[in-house]
A and B are shown apart, each in its own frame.
Chain A
Amino acid sequence: MKYFRFIWKNVFRKKSRAFLTMASIVLVLVLIVVLSSLLEALDYDTGRTKGAANVVVQHATGLGNFMPLAYRQKIEQIPGVVAVAPQIWFGGIYIDEKPQNFFGQLSTDPQVWAVVHDDYTIPPDQLKTWQSERDSFVAGKQLIDRFHWTIGQRIQVRGTYIPGTIDLVLRGVYTGPDESNIFFHNKYLENSFLGRLERTGIFYLRTEAPEKVPGVCDAINKMFENSDAPVKAMPEKQFMLQFTEMMGDVKLLFRSIALTVLFTVVLIVANTMAMSARERVTQIAVIRALGFRRSHVLMLVLSEAIVLALLGGVAGALGSFPFMWGLIGIIKHTPVAMFAYNLKISLATLLTAFTAAVGIGVLAGFVPAIRSSRISIVDGLRRVA
């Protein structure tokens, strides 16, 4: 501890260089914290939420193919199933095709909607009104805030792969883990070709308990495996992960980016430390002449690198909070909004960031520290003499 002031003052010997190096560490730490948090959000265990008992059934070949609506009654007979809601992704255009106007539009059965979405909350009178009006819809609170909709307001959404425009009136506002969608009546689409074909995109169902999910999934998959439209039943979390997997191996990509920037910043800090050590050959020779041992010099130079990296680490960890809040705000307006609710900076992530900071310091400081400790006193003093 008695050496700390000496270490601290040497860290800031060249202030602008120290701050620029720290800034590079801050950026890397922010990136590591954000990427780690995103990975955690993707791995988020829905077993901790009410949605853990939910199952999604889709056509075995993918979401592009639809399933007979008649499957609903058969699925409802499977032991452990509480309620089944057929849902169709409408995928229409609201106002224009700008990304900020995009949101999820799903047709469903309002009579069971509240049962299958037991992690959503909606005032009972609003639910009742929605259930009774065929051209009504409910929207997530976040969408209401985004578009400043009011109860009773009408919106028109132009179909893309489903022809026609839906004209709906807002009757309810729900809150829950994903507030980026609207839900309207399946009956509204009865006159479309999908309605006439009596087919649906997915079945969204709730089981009695999370433990029932694997058994129910197996039963559903077996029930339709030899039919014309085989299905794939899966827990809700797995269903959501399909969308991120569509972007490729996101986790591998995130980890590769993190490791690359980590390696880059190690080189930057190592270069800074090497420059700093080279400039102080005489100073090191002087303190060695005063009686400091090689191990002292090694410890001092290495400590400087670690202090620099830790300062960057602390600033980076603190800076990642506002960055993360901004990111959550953005994700809430995207189709993967439900991840935003799982997105947070955990203690484990902060510890990872600090470990990375210490790692940067040790790796970057090691070689300059070794070299400094090997400086010959006579040669170092001769540089001035």
Chain B
Amino acid sequence: MADSLICIEHVSKAYRRDSLQIPVLADIDLTIDTGEFIALMGPSGSGKTTLLNLLAGIDTPTKGRITIDRRVISSMRETELARWRADHIGFIFQLYNLIPVLTAFENVELPLLLTRLSRQERQVHVRTALAIVGLSDRADHYPRQLSGGQEQRVAIARAIVADPVILVADEPTGDLDARSAGEILDLLNRLNTEHHKTIVMVTHDPRAAARAHRMLHLDKGVLSVEEPAAALDRSRDGR
């Protein structure tokens, strides 16, 4: 457990709505090793996104401890957590969430504004990230001038530009057609295998989950099933 990249210990999360306490996650234990590609599945409201938010450091657990790369992020103060996110986490959202007034280049450059890199150094990083996702020729395009698949690739370039250890993806293919979804999954696979990114992906799509090394099931806040993605693939094919 000590050598794991992500270590979640007895983590619970509950939200307050007025006087009501709504439990979302209950006593979760999970470890994820460096270079793993994890698919997190489960029905709506099962707590997948909440678990993703917790390990990405944009939410804090009600109970338990989250350690990432030997640092306990669950007890970090907000400012410290923001710095940590900028250095360690790349976000990929279902609806891409690009800034509409910025070009693809400027969108990808955003996380680098938080670094001490010079303008020239930032340009090199951005061009490299855009090249990895295959959009070097679309650097000056605005999000509205791109297809959904291209927007998601720009979002992935933004996620990897600061070279984070972990990529968290919340239904990255949820808003894409089958072909674009396949391209995005190929890209995630490549980032995992060639660039050694640890990926945690929330998805409803069994085909997307099949790309992962491990598939985790969440149901009513309980991490109840854990099985290899390949098993799902076999069951789908009836083998």
User: Which chain B residue has the least Cβ–Cβ distance from A280?
Assistant: B99
B106 touches A6 (CB 8 A): yes
Minimal beta-carbon separation of A90 from chain B (angstroms): 67
Minimal beta-carbon separation of B174 from chain A (angstroms): 9
Contacts known (A2-B119, A291-B114, A385-B94); A377 close to B101, Cβ less than 8 A:
no
Chain B window 63-93, contacts with chain A (Cβ cutoff 8 Å), 1 for yes, 0 for no: 0000000000000001100110111000101
A6 touches B82 (CB 8 A): no
- A9 at the binding interface (Cβ < 8 Å): yes
- B113 at the binding interface (Cβ < 8 Å): yes
A292 touches B82 (CB 8 A): yes
A378 touches B58 (CB 8 A): yes
Contacts known (A2-B113, A10-B101, A385-B170); A290 close to B91, Cβ less than 8 A:
yes
Task: For the complex, give the distance between the alpha carbons of A289 and B59 in Å.
Answer: 10
Q: Which residues of A contact B59 (CB under 8 A)?
A: 377-378
B interface majority secondary structure: helix
- A381 at the binding interface (Cβ < 8 Å): yes
Q: Which residues of B contact A291 (CB under 8 A)?
A: 82-83, 85-87, 111, 114
- A147 at the binding interface (Cβ < 8 Å): no
Contacts known (A13-B101, A384-B95, A385-B170); A289 close to B83, Cβ less than 8 A:
no
Give chain B interface residues in 26-54, CB to chain A under 8 Å.
49, 53
Chain A window 12-29, contacts with chain B (Cβ cutoff 8 Å), 1 for yes, 0 for no: 110000000000000000
Chain B window 131-165, contacts with chain A (Cβ cutoff 8 Å), 1 for yes, 0 for no: 00000000000000000000000000010000000
Minimal beta-carbon separation of B57 from chain A (angstroms): 9
Q: Which residues of A contact B158 (CB under 8 A)?
A: 290
Chain A window 283-307, contacts with chain B (Cβ cutoff 8 Å), 1 for yes, 0 for no: 1001111111111100000000000
Q: Which residues of B contact A290 (CB under 8 A)?
A: 85-86, 91, 110-111, 114, 158
From B56, B58, B78, B95, contact of A294 by CB (8 A): B78
- A5 at the binding interface (Cβ < 8 Å): yes
Chain A window 342-385, contacts with chain B (Cβ cutoff 8 Å), 1 for yes, 0 for no: 00000000000000000000000000000000000110010011
Q: Which residues of B contact A296 (CB under 8 A)?
A: 114
Contacts known (A283-B99, A290-B91); A3 close to B82, Cβ less than 8 A:
no
Q: Which residues of B contact A9 (CB under 8 A)?
A: 101-102, 106
Contacts known (A289-B85, A292-B114, A385-B49); A282 close to B58, Cβ less than 8 A:
no
User: Which chain A residue has the least Cβ–Cβ distance from B114?
Assistant: A291
Task: For the complex, give the distance between the alpha carbons of A6 and B110 in Å.
Answer: 9
A286 touches B85 (CB 8 A): no
A289 touches B101 (CB 8 A): no
Most buried by B among A287, A289, A378: A289
Q: Which residues of A contact B110 (CB under 8 A)?
A: 6, 287, 290
User: Which chain B residue has the least Cβ–Cβ distance from A11?
Assistant: B101
Q: Which residues of B contact A381 (CB under 8 A)?
A: 58, 93, 97
Minimal beta-carbon separation of A9 from chain B (angstroms): 4
B97 touches A377 (CB 8 A): no
Q: Which residues of B contact A385 (CB under 8 A)?
A: 49, 93-95, 170
Minimal beta-carbon separation of B4 from chain A (angstroms): 23
Q: Which residues of B contact A12 (CB under 8 A)?
A: 101
Q: Which residues of B contact A288 (CB under 8 A)?
A: 58, 82
Task: For the complex, give the distance between the alpha carbons of A67 and B62 in Å.
Answer: 93
Q: Which residues of B contact A294 (CB under 8 A)?
A: 78-79, 82
Task: For the complex, give the distance between the alpha carbons of A286 and B56 in Å.
Answer: 13
Q: Which residues of A contact B53 (CB under 8 A)?
A: 377-378
Task: For the complex, give the distance between the alpha carbons of A296 and B78 in Å.
Answer: 13
B78 touches A3 (CB 8 A): no
A289 touches B111 (CB 8 A): no
A-B contact pairs, 22 of them (CB 8 A): A2-B113, A13-B100, A282-B97, A286-B91, A286-B93, A288-B58, A289-B58, A290-B85, A290-B114, A291-B82, A291-B83, A292-B82, A293-B78, A293-B79, A293-B82, A294-B82, A384-B93, A384-B95, A384-B97, A385-B49, A385-B93, A385-B95
Given A296-B114, A385-B94, 8 extra CB contacts under 8 A: A2-B113, A13-B100, A283-B99, A286-B99, A289-B56, A294-B82, A378-B59, A381-B97
Those 10 A-B pairs whose CB atoms lie nearest each other, nearest first? A291-B86, A9-B101, A377-B58, A293-B82, A286-B97, A291-B85, A290-B111, A384-B95, A291-B114, A13-B101
